[in-house]
Chain A
Amino acid sequence: MPAAPAAPPPSAPAGGLPGMDISQLQNRIKKIAARHPLWAAGAAMKLVGPQAMAFLPGILADIARFEAEMETQEREKAAAEERKREEERRRETPSAPRTPAPAPESPSTGAGSKLWRFSKSVFHNTYDLLLKPIIPEGAYDKILRTGLILGIFTAMYTVFSKLGLKTIYNIPISGLLVIAVALAVYQIAPVPVGAFVRNLFLVLGGIGGFFALAMIPSPVIYVFATAYLVFYVMAIYFIYKEKKKFAIVFVFNALLFGMLFTGVYIGMVEPGSRLHSAVLGQQQVFNDAYEFFGKMWDVVWTGTRKTYFMLTGPYELGVEENVQEPLGVYLENVARTSEFISMGDVANVFGDVRSHALKTDKILWINVDCYEEGKFELQDKHGEITPRKRFNVTEGEQVPVNCNIPALNLGPGSHRIALEVTFDFQTSSYLRGYFMEQDQIRAYKRQHPEETSNPLDSFGIADKTPLAAYTGGPLFVGMGIGQQPIPLTNEAFGPTLTITIDKNWPEGELLKVNGLNITVPPGMIISKVSGRDMVKSNYCSGGGSQEYSCLLNKPEILDRLFPPDEKPVSLRKNIRVETMITDRGILMAKAPLSIRSFKLTIDYTYRIKKAQSVTVQQPKTTGGMG
């Protein structure tokens, strides 16, 4: 508690106070002076005056009232301290039987309560592990509060500075504001005002600091911003250990931060001002951070889901040919000409469509579109593509594309403009299979009972478990045929080929499969594809000494394999191809071992898109009279 100005000790009144112990009265007034110095000074003055007797009953009544008040406060303080000690004891001995709490802080039960308790335990454990060893016991509150005050000071100073306030004025203004915050935070200020100012600053301090950080010209600003956010949340947690207040401050902060992404602040500040730029800059920073982490997440997610699919199977593997050389169509250098445009202007987003090694003689048709993200259905939210909306490319070409959307169509505020490229592409894959008579495999196994023995060893074959090889591009195509060598029995049933189709690029979507060409070696035919009979169908051709191929390019079969209501096609997809042996002689070619390939070519439509943020500024309002 701070020291209050001492009241002048009342000396004995000239006429004296009959029946009164003067020194006892003086002591009582002194005690009250610590809390009510002005009253104490006045009382002292009255008691030394000639009319002391007249004032005495009133002064005594005040003294009794103040003493009762002080006694109540002392009791409350003692009770609060007792509660605090109890809480600390409970925290130190978590396994000890808990004494019933005076009042449950949160009566909520169920999943939400469990989640809260879990989050709290994670927070406490993190604190105990990381911060407790380096911060002395009891000091963390002060350190965090000090850090918070310094943060707010920096924030205010930066904001004022950016707003154009000269340093000579900025420092005292920021200083005064921060002193006010400090007083409030340290509970120096009178109770209702102090509590209000403290809460207000704790709510607004975070967003203020955020604005300040937004104005720092650094490409990794989001790192600082995120660090600040974490620090800020920690600070308010430690200041408000009581759940309800923390939750309130946290929710307020979440709302204030959340408004960063809705354009509310843009409407609040003068267009073109520094603060306006700061808000937009912050939005961009967050968008960039979102995209950056989104890309990282895409990579992590792609790997994780692949591993998951492999573990839960079936997921056939494949090796990408020529990994070093990119294959396919890429949307590169996507940017906007202006981040801020006025209502009469046009939002211009541009990029390059680059066709890397296509490895095909076919002409590749590209469709370009652009629209405001999330509003694809609205026609006026689509832009005009220049120079051409649809064009063809061959290998190694680069075509610049522009998207223009009138700002009027977009409306004021921030908008994400997506530039989208759709193209047809082809991916090929093959899997080598080694065929041997089952009797021969069994005989070999009988003679070589070792676990690792393989009949292919006797032929000097190095790669005894070949993986499917597929050409690069947007799709991954894996194939599997089971254990190698593939045994040939006396029955006509052949091996079953499993095809796995998945995304090869973290970005983009498979819009549609246009054709699937499955080829099996001579001497074999395809009997079923994912349970659909192929023998009686007219999709397949070849056979005899030629390869046997099924070209599935009609909607009646493709729609069964890739339901049309799934747009984009959900991946991964597994296709099972059942085969039959029609001519063992052709398949084996009078040799003890036959090396044959299963081939697959898939034609599909793929879509990639990249987005840019554009802000349409509201026209400056001209207010005032006349």
Chain B
Amino acid sequence: MKKIVVLFLFLVACQFAQLPAKKIPEAIPIYTGTSALEASFNPATMSNMIMCQQSDIYVDVKNTGAQDIKDGTYSFITEDQYLTPVTERQKKFSLEGKSQFNPKGGFDQIHLRVKNLGILPQFETYNPEIIFQACYKYTTSAAAQVCVDPDVANLNPRKACRPEPVLLPNGQGAPVAVTKIEPYMVPEGDGVTPVFAIYVQNLGFGAVVRPEGAEAACTGGTGLQLLSYANVHAFLQNKELVCDPNPVKIESTQERRFICQRKEMLYGPSAGTFSAVLTIQLEYGYVNSLALPLTITRLPGQAPCPT
């Protein structure tokens, strides 16, 4: 009997013991940040080279943005009178963006081998620069809860929400960020038409070009395609809004604003005040550039390079 009581007490005690916490994987913030492709010269790069010799240039590229890069183009600009590329200096590339399965984004290493053709007589050194450029299409996808409130007279004191500006300070995992959304309820007959003022800015370290100019920016193209404009798409309740201006100019020094609305989207008092998700998509081309100073040294008494 005693044994049964002890066993019972043991079992009861076990009931109160804390169970080990269940490990639920944390959601990795994907759509945050203001970077896309991050490029840097690998320390293994031979930035000091001897006259007439070859040098290997390594560039580490990783896509820390939320979108994948497809059919991007990279290009090396060299001073051809001194450095001639041995390997291909212009190529297409693709790089996966951040995702739940690849939280750090895709990584790659680009290699270029250059050969020095000599330097001017009497000079001991020459310091050319190698410029690396990566050009690719990118998309910013932003979503925000906005309030649609047909009660412009504010008759209902207990509304589900109020149309107030929405700030998005941390970016959306892309260099061009939607920074603020201002909802306006424009009276139209008995109802209202929601109008959204959307603010965007280039918060990355590169330059924006039109999406169709993404390749040309690295291959020497010219024209309007290289202007800093992004195509805009905005959706509310799965209906695309009309945005103006579109494409919108993107700058790095200041925010630019565009307005999105849909005339047919009319909400009467019967619709009530409700929250909805406003989705914004910005499509653009993006260019990352970085320069590497090289030093070419002539050895004492070194003869000119053989042609």
On whether the beta carbons of B222 and A439 are closer than 8 Å, the reply is yes
Tell me, yes or no, whether A321 is within 8 Å of chain B by CB.
yes
On whether the beta carbons of B303 and A361 are closer than 8 Å, the reply is yes
Contacts A521-B81, A522-B80 given: A359-B291 contact, CB under 8 Å? no
On whether the beta carbons of B219 and A590 are closer than 8 Å, the reply is yes
On whether the beta carbons of B222 and A440 are closer than 8 Å, the reply is yes
On whether the beta carbons of A595 and B228 are closer than 8 Å, the reply is no
Tally chain A residues at the interface, Cβ within 8 Å: 39
Chain A residues, CB < 8 A from B131: 459-461, 593, 595
Tell me, yes or no, whether A599 is within 8 Å of chain B by CB.
yes
Chain B positions 221 through 237: 1 when the CB is less than 8 Å from some CB of chain A, otherwise 0: 11110111000000000
Tell me, yes or no, whether B123 is within 8 Å of chain A by CB.
yes
Q: How far is the CA of A592 from the CA of B124 in the complex (A)?
A: 30
On whether the beta carbons of B222 and A595 are closer than 8 Å, the reply is no
On whether the beta carbons of A439 and B124 are closer than 8 Å, the reply is no
Tell me, yes or no, whether B99 is within 8 Å of chain A by CB.
no
Interface hub of A427, A430, A460, A597 (most chain B Cβ within 10 A):
A460
Tell me, yes or no, whether B258 is within 8 Å of chain A by CB.
no
Of A443, A591, A599, A601, the contact of B227 (CB 8 Å cutoff) = A443
Within 8 A of B (CB), among A531-549: 547
On whether the beta carbons of A321 and B287 are closer than 8 Å, the reply is no
Tell me, yes or no, whether A322 is within 8 Å of chain B by CB.
yes
Chain A residues, CB < 8 A from B293: 462
Chain A residues, CB < 8 A from B223: 439
Complex: chain B residue closest to A596, CB-CB = B81
Q: How far is the CA of A590 from the CA of B223 in the complex (A)?
A: 14
Tell me, yes or no, whether A589 is within 8 Å of chain B by CB.
yes
Complex: chain A residue closest to B131, CB-CB = A459
CB distance from A472 to the nearest CB of B (A): 9
Chain B residues, CB < 8 A from A439: 222-223
Chain A residues, CB < 8 A from B251: 447
Tell me, yes or no, whether B47 is within 8 Å of chain A by CB.
no
Within 8 A of A (CB), among B215-274: 217-224, 226-228, 249, 251
Contacts A593-B77, A593-B131, A595-B129 given: A327-B122 contact, CB under 8 Å? yes
Q: How far is the CA of A460 from the CA of B217 in the complex (A)?
A: 15
Contacts A547-B81, A595-B77, A596-B79 given: A426-B121 contact, CB under 8 Å? yes
Count CB-based A-B contacts (< 8 Å): 99
On whether the beta carbons of A459 and B291 are closer than 8 Å, the reply is yes
Interface hub of A427, A447, A595 (most chain B Cβ within 10 A):
A595
Within 8 A of A (CB), among B64-96: 75, 77-82, 90
Of A359, A427, A522, A588, the contact of B220 (CB 8 Å cutoff) = A588
Chain A positions 218 through 232: 1 when the CB is less than 8 Å from some CB of chain B, otherwise 0: 000000000000000
Q: How far is the CA of A547 from the CA of B118 in the complex (A)?
A: 13
Tell me, yes or no, whether B290 is within 8 Å of chain A by CB.
yes
Of B123, B128, B290, the contact of A359 (CB 8 Å cutoff) = B123
Tell me, yes or no, whether A613 is within 8 Å of chain B by CB.
no
Tell me, yes or no, whether A99 is within 8 Å of chain B by CB.
no
Interface hub of B128, B220, B223, B224 (most chain A Cβ within 10 A):
B220
Chain B residues, CB < 8 A from A521: 81
Chain A positions 30 through 68: 1 when the CB is less than 8 Å from some CB of chain B, otherwise 0: 000000000000000000000000000000000000000
Chain A positions 397 through 433: 1 when the CB is less than 8 Å from some CB of chain B, otherwise 0: 0000000000000000000000000000011101010
On whether the beta carbons of A462 and B81 are closer than 8 Å, the reply is no
Chain B residues, CB < 8 A from A440: 222, 226
Tell me, yes or no, whether A312 is within 8 Å of chain B by CB.
no
CB distance from A499 to the nearest CB of B (A): 15
Complex: chain A residue closest to B251, CB-CB = A447
Tell me, yes or no, whether A109 is within 8 Å of chain B by CB.
no
Chain A residues, CB < 8 A from B222: 437, 439-440
Chain B residues, CB < 8 A from A553: none
Chain B residues, CB < 8 A from A322: 124
Complex: chain A residue closest to B250, CB-CB = A447
Tell me, yes or no, whether B207 is within 8 Å of chain A by CB.
yes
Q: How far is the CA of A592 from the CA of B291 in the complex (A)?
A: 14
Chain A positions 348 through 379: 1 when the CB is less than 8 Å from some CB of chain B, otherwise 0: 00000000001111000000000000000000
Of B90, B290, B303, the contact of A460 (CB 8 Å cutoff) = B290
Chain A positions 451 through 488: 1 when the CB is less than 8 Å from some CB of chain B, otherwise 0: 00000001111100000010100000000000000000
On whether the beta carbons of B124 and A461 are closer than 8 Å, the reply is no
Chain A residues, CB < 8 A from B129: 461, 595
CB distance from A497 to the nearest CB of B (A): 15
On whether the beta carbons of A597 and B81 are closer than 8 Å, the reply is yes
Q: How far is the CA of A379 from the CA of B102 in the complex (A)?
A: 91
CB distance from B104 to the nearest CB of A (A): 25
Of A461, A471, A522, the contact of B291 (CB 8 Å cutoff) = A461
Tell me, yes or no, whether A594 is within 8 Å of chain B by CB.
yes
Q: How far is the CA of A327 from the CA of B224 in the complex (A)?
A: 51
Of A447, A594, A597, the contact of B77 (CB 8 Å cutoff) = A594
On whether the beta carbons of B79 and A359 are closer than 8 Å, the reply is no
On whether the beta carbons of A591 and B121 are closer than 8 Å, the reply is no
Within 8 A of A (CB), among B261-304: 287, 289-291, 293, 303
Q: How far is the CA of A361 from the CA of B221 in the complex (A)?
A: 44
| Minimum-distance CB pairs A-B, first 8 | A359-B122, A471-B122, A460-B291, A595-B79, A590-B220, A437-B222, A428-B120, A591-B77
Could you show 6 A-B contacts with beta carbons less than 8 Å apart? A443-B224, A460-B290, A521-B81, A591-B220, A596-B79, A597-B81
Having A460-B131, A590-B220, A592-B218, one finds 17 other A-B pairs with CB under 8 Å, namely A321-B125, A360-B121, A360-B122, A428-B123, A439-B222, A443-B224, A443-B226, A447-B227, A447-B251, A459-B289, A462-B291, A592-B217, A595-B79, A596-B80, A597-B81, A599-B120, A601-B120
